[in-house]
Amino acid sequence: MRTNLAFGALIVCLAALYPGPSPGAGATDLPTLRQTAHDGDAAAQYELGDRYYRGRDLEQSYAEALRWYRRAAERGHMMAQYLVGVMFANGEGVSQDYVEGYAWMSLVARQGDSHAAELKEQYRARMNPAQLDRAREKAAALQERLLR
């Protein structure tokens, strides 16, 4: 429960800092939002993921939330990258995986987010040396692919 409360508070804080959405994001019309997300708009993908996560205007599904957050994350949406890491570490919509959580949190920390750096260290403390090696390799690959 404490993690979920902290997660919710963090979303509110980060959302206030994140630059404004693109035209497809925040649309109240779900069909338009879906189309814009399918067309590759990262802000719309993030918004659709958020609606699935919270069960707003459609059935709540962590798996679908993760799928849409991950699409946005792959397009460089930093908040989505952060949430993908949290969801892997918490096992929301996927089996708990600190290796993946660490990799995504490393990506966000590399972009200057101090809270992500703290979470990355918390995830590091929960892994054995072999897992940490894999996590660092995944983090390097993500950074190479997404922070070119």
pLDDT tens figures, 114-142: 999 999 999 999 999 999 999 999 999 99
In a domain, 5, yes or no: no
Q: Is 38 helix (H, G, I), strand (E, B) or coil?
A: helix
Domain CATH number, residue 91: 1.25.40.10
In a domain, 2, yes or no: no
Q: State how many domains the chain has.
A: 1
Query: pTM of the predicted model, to two decimals?
Result: 0.82
In a domain, 39, yes or no: yes
In a domain, 16, yes or no: no
Domain of residue 43, residue span: 26-146
* pLDDT on residue 148: 78
In a domain, 98, yes or no: yes
In a domain, 8, yes or no: no
Instruction: List all residues 6 or more positions away from 78 whose beta carbon is below 8 Å from its beta carbon.
Output: 18, 108, 111, 113
pLDDT tens figures, 28-81: 699 999 999 999 999 999 999 999 999 999 999 999 999 999 999 999 999 999
90 pLDDT above the threshold of 70: yes
| Residue corresponding to tokens 């902290």 | 6
